[in-house]
Amino acid sequence: MSFKSINPATGVVSAEFSAHGDADMERLLEQAWTGYRAWSVTPMEDRTAFLIRLADLLEQRADTYAALITSEMGKPVGEARAEVVKAASGARHFAEAGPRYLADEPVQGTAGTIIYEPIGPIFGVMPWNLPFWQVLRFFIPAAIAGNVVLVKHADLVQGAAQALEDLVRDAGGPAGLYTNLRVRRDAVSGIIADPRVRAVTVTGSTAAGRAVAEAAGAHGKKAVLELGGSDPFIVFEDADFEKAVSIGVVSRFSNNAQSCIAAKRFLIAAPIFERYCEAFARTASALPMGDPMDPATKLGPLAKADLVETTQRQIAEAVAAGGRVITGGKPKDGPGNFFEPTVIVGVDPDSAIAQEEFFGPVALMFPFTSEVEAVECANATDFGLGGAVWTSDPHRARRVVGQLEAGAVFVNDFVRSDPRAPFGGVKGSGFGRELGPLGARELTNPKLVWNLPA
């Protein structure tokens, strides 16, 4: 059994990787356990020094890693390089702030102190759409806390998976600190069940996350879930119109429109609805689409051929639900998984398709006539990852932000993650937090100690 890296811009197989067998798995699990016993007692200053070396290597190899990311999942090479640089900034942030995040915390008014201890080897099930950043944003806080990780990366980015393991080793990480597991989905439940694995985190679809959480719960193990999203992008009539259009296009179509946290449902005040849709469609259709290795490209291919089929099916269902395609709507002729940027208006907001997550270059546009209607529509999905509110009225912004069911809401900006701030969702978008002080402590044991000696 093997994994193949297929260039989504050409359809050509670029690499093949053999899967780990049962004997390999036992060896790797034992290596992780042995590595944890050593890393968990490694002084904090040595862990921070490791993260600085990791950041240095990421920056030095940014072009090489960017080309690898682009060849395996198709994102424009400029965005791929930015992903690697962002991961380096995350490592530097936790090298500087991690000791503060994890410092002993007195319980006010008592003799108690909370100390944040590592919990053991953590199993991560990771996606292909941000193959460096999403893995490292889990690994970096886990490592600074004294944990080690085992990672099942997505099938189509096994080159990135191996590169990440090599990166940790080259930065001076000891054996077992980062272990790459080349296994299929059917091996996940067995890995979770292994007593040497103490927690699990997954970034992926809602269905995959719930399956992992069920397996973790059966064994009494903690799970952190960062799952799908269908973020509302709410534009009131008093918003900065041009900026709301330009940022809206970036939020929907960056990363080839394959991000869980991204604008997907555009809720536009009725007085500006037609004008906004026309401007958005014009801007989206002008995005340079083509070879993702060309720095001028802004929209590359979808990562997998079956995503083209899924996007076609969703567009057809949207049209059946009253939608009208005002730009795009079909794959691009020629090799590769290219799909035109698509804008659809008129979909019934109560239809089944309006509740689905679109993981392709499709923006759904809905008008609203009141603040109440905007909030109701924004919350009318099982997702709750992010959201954006565009208005020049600070009182309205505060009211709407307080009513949105989401893990993060951005005012007059687009939703994104930042190493300094906690990231995660609610409802079908998961639970638990990554990044920031909450993420640093998420995969630790906050142990209460009474009368801790100074």
Q: How is residue 254 annotated by DSSP?
A: G
CA torsion, ordered 344, 350, 355, 358, to nearest 10 deg? -10
Pairing of strands 231-235, 263-269: parallel
In the numeric block, which tokens belong to residue 126?
Answer: 């990771």
144 and 94 Cβ atoms separated by less than 8 Å? yes
Angle of CA points 411, 417, 419, to nearest 5°: 125
In the numeric block, which tokens belong to residue 139?
Answer: 């690994």
Please identify which residue in the block is written with the tokens 């759409």.
129
Please name the residues in contact with 227: beta carbons below 8 A apart, sequence gap of 6 or more: 202, 203, 204, 205, 206, 208, 209, 260, 385, 425, 428, 429, 430
User: What's the farthest any 2 CA atoms get from each other in the chain?
Assistant: 71
Please identify which residue in the block is written with the tokens 């359809």.
11
Please name the residues in contact with 222: beta carbons below 8 A apart, sequence gap of 6 or more: 119, 198, 199, 200, 216, 443
Strand-by-strand arrangement of the 178-180 sheet: 178-180, 148-152, 121-125, 199-203, 222-226, 430-431
Please name the residues in contact with 371: beta carbons below 8 A apart, sequence gap of 6 or more: 236, 396, 399, 400
Q: In this structure, which amino acid lies at residue 54?
A: L
- CA proximity to 383, closest of 189, 227, 175: 227
> What secondary structure does DSSP assign to 96-128, as a single string?
HHHHHHTS-EE-TTSSEEEEEEE--EEEEE--S
Please identify which residue in the block is written with the tokens 């042995």.
34
Q: Provide Rg for the chain, Cα atoms.
A: 22
- CA proximity to 299, closest of 307, 311, 287, 309: 287
- CA proximity to 192, closest of 25, 35, 27: 25
Catalytic residues: 226, 260
